[in-house]
Amino acid sequence: MSLLAAHGIFDHRDGTFGHTASSRLLRSDHPMTMRPFLQMMGLPIIWGSITELGHAVRTGRPSLEVLEPQGIWAHLQNHPSEGEIFGRAMTAKAGAEGAAVVDAFDFRPYRTIADIGGGRGHLLRAVLEAAPDTQGILFDLPEVIDSLDVEHPRMAATAGDFFKDTLPTADAYVLMEVLHDWPDEECVAILAAIRRAAHADSTLLVIEGVLPEDHDDPRAATLDLIMLTVTGGRERTASQLRALLEQAGFRLDRVTETASPMRIVEARPV
């Protein structure tokens, strides 16, 4: 506790410890709780990947493969208890960041919105609550879709693999924290799959933590390192995202800030 207090996580005075704004985020009942995310970061497969950073630097490959040659997604599928911790972390993160995204962007003009790689649909449900006349399509892997436990009258769930299967046609596509999981080549493949499914007037919304061009954001730089070691992906600047979009047949129109670290990168087909 003394160590945590020295770092400002807890308050320490008159021989007693007390909460701070930071420590309250560790409570499971806090609306912006970081508890599941920190539990995820403590998983041996995650922490071990970071300690093997040298492998990623030498090879350009995720250092996680030293511990798990099949990769993070296969590992989580084969270790359900760790997969559950990971899922809770993503749910908590999506809840806080999704609210900020919905507050920052007007989704009401779109009749259909497809959330590609949307997990359990937490962002899409928030979008549909804010856009009462919009229909939603949740697209993710079969094992994710099969785990859904909450239905929505305006949300259809479609199982598939965005590297192999045809994506649904929609007025708007959402990719929230998908591209940062992948190297550039795979990102272009994902974007190209959306471009093939989109019509000429569709909108693509890439929702990610966008690095500043001068790379001076410590939080983003830390996450960039984590993505490199765990998935082989990376955080990107707006200009780097623009290059990926252009390779896949999109043009970047604008970047909208939110009250969270997420930015909304808006693009359209060319």
What is the Cα gyration radius of the chain? 19
8 A C-beta contact, residue 68 and residue 47? no
The C-alpha atoms of residue 142 and residue 77 are separated, in whole angstroms, by 12
- Encoded tokens for 7: 């770092």
From the CB of residue 150, how many other CB atoms can be counted at a distance below 10 Å? 9
Task: State the catalytic residue, choosing from 12, 19, 180, 199.
Answer: 180
215 part of the active site: no
* Residues designated catalytic: 180
